Amino acid sequence: MNFTVIAHAVEVDHGVKRLSMRFIKKYAAPERQRLSAELCADIAKEFERLGLLTLPRRLPTSENEYVFVIEKDSPLGQAVALASSLALLEKVGENPMSWLLDNYPDIRSSLT
């Protein structure tokens, strides 16, 4: 997997870039016919290694879907990481700020 092009595109666009899963697959595994859950997990790990994260956090297996790739150390990346942590705590019933996610009900599916 060579995500140098994607990492540079995110950097050029001030820390966030909207990409199709088809474009990501082109650099991750051009020889593959389709995206699998395992390949998407590997892609997410490689993004993590490069200091990038995605929104939604769990990559879709459809090549027609779009995701945001965000620099993890940017203010937006830190906000997404924090919100993801709160969503995971909510999932296990330990969120100290559950009222926050109540105000934004549609966000849970993108963060967990």
Confidence at residue 108, expressed as pLDDT on a 0 to 100 scale: 67
Of 105, 1, 82, residue with least CA distance to 49? 1
Q: How would you list the strands of the sheet with 66-71, edge to edge?
A: 16-20, 66-71, 52-55
pLDDT digits (tens, 9 = 90+) for 70-106: 999 999 999 888 888 877 887 788 877 766 667 777 7
First-last CA distance in the chain: 24
Q: Indicate whether 42 pLDDT > 80.
A: yes
Whether pTM exceeds 0.95: no
Structure tokens at 69: 């790739």
Confidence at residue 54, expressed as pLDDT on a 0 to 100 scale: 93
Alpha carbon separation from 18 to 6, 22, 69, 101 (Å, rounded): 10, 12, 6, 24
What does the pLDDT average to over 46-50? 93
pLDDT digits (tens, 9 = 90+) for 6-17: 988 898 888 999
State the Cα–Cα distance between residues 26 and 106, nearest whole angstrom.
30
Whether cis (ω within 30° of 0) applies to the bond prior to 30 is no
